[in-house]
Amino acid sequence: MKQTIDRAQVMKVAKLSRLELTDAQADQFTGQLSAILEYVEKMNALDTADVEPLAHCLPISNVLRADAPVDSLGTQRVLANAPVRDEQFFRVPKILDEGSGA
């Protein structure tokens, strides 16, 4: 089943995403999204019944360090480079006003 994207669908998604598109951009995205769907359709035509799912294309194992407890840095060391501090806390600019409801 051939799926295509038309300009109306692009404009609907743009509206839902709160994006303002020019006519040229809408036409461009219509073509690009249709090309993506055509490519996915080609991929769906492939027989992948005997292909095992994988998370990574290379044979790697867990590359993260061991999760072992370590001593913390301590308050004085953490705050040593703080531009502004308030006793044992970072002082940051206020970003919410009284009427924000947060």
Range(s) of the domain holding residue 25: 7-44
Counted domains in the chain = 1
Domain-located, residue 94: no
What is the predicted pLDDT for the residue at 101? 65
Q: Does residue 34 surpass a pLDDT of 70? A: yes
Listed ranges 11-25, 51-65, 88-102; the one with the highest mean pLDDT = 11-25
Q: Is residue 29 part of a domain?
A: yes
What is the pTM (predicted TM-score) of this model?
Answer: 0.48
Q: Which two tokens stand for residue 81?
A: 């480079």
CATH number of the structural domain spanning residue 36 = 1.10.20
60 located within any domain: no
Residue 34 CB contacts under 8 Å (≥ 6 apart), including other chains: 4, 5
* Rounded average pLDDT over 14-19: 95
Does a structural domain hold residue 11?
A: yes
pLDDT at 102: 60
- pLDDT, residue 64, reads 83
